[in-house]
Amino acid sequence: MKLLFIGDVVGKTGRTAVRALLPKLSDRYKADCVVANGENIAGGFGLTEPLVQDLLSYGVHIITTGNHVWDKKDFMTSIGKESRVLRPLNYPPGVPGHGSIVFNAGGRKIAVVNVSGRVFMPQMDCPFRAIDAELERIRKETHIIFVDFHAEATSEKVAFGYYLDGRVSAVIGTHTHVQTADEKILPKGTAYITDAGMTGPSCSVIGIEVQQILQ
């Protein structure tokens, strides 16, 4: 099975890049499933229902998010209706939406799980405890498990990767919008990278206009 992951899609530039490049990439690599982090698709902050549908129409199967998932307040009522859009698993009980999905891709089931870190991030439930309970449930359906770990601190991400090594297929970090150079297969077989980077304007400060940030 081949899974294609797209790092944080930022604003119109990011959406345009996905629309232009994803069909060729999917065809070239024969991707069975395409996952994209889309928490910044609406002007760099949050999501809207129309833009989510646009991203899905470009060939994305599952959209993961992070701390910006609630930036557009109207989306709070939409996220519970669209199972293909995930929010971090470790939000407290009662929060709208889902933290994982089991998706039929290429005739096989694949699970995608979205988890948030806690270091330098909004307060959440413990990601380590939250993922344990979720894996116990998911493993009854599939052993192909992909995790988007949306976190700030590289040390927390590395620790999370080793914590899940051998228990999931891949742990891919998001959030910082700067790709790291530590992609590897961990000792027990799990694919890992601390951050996948972003899909957005290269002449920017993590997707935002340079002068705006300097000011």
Contact 110, 144 (CB under 8 A): yes
Contact 164, 131 (CB under 8 A): yes
Residues 202 and 138: their CA atoms lie apart, in Å, by: 37
Which residues have a catalytic role annotated?
Answer: 68
In terms of DSSP bridges, do strands 8-9 and 184-185 run parallel, antiparallel, or are they unpaired? unpaired
Task: Copy the structure tokens of residue 158.
Answer: 């590395």
SS3 22: helix
Determine how many CB atoms are found less than 10 A away from the CB of residue 17: 17
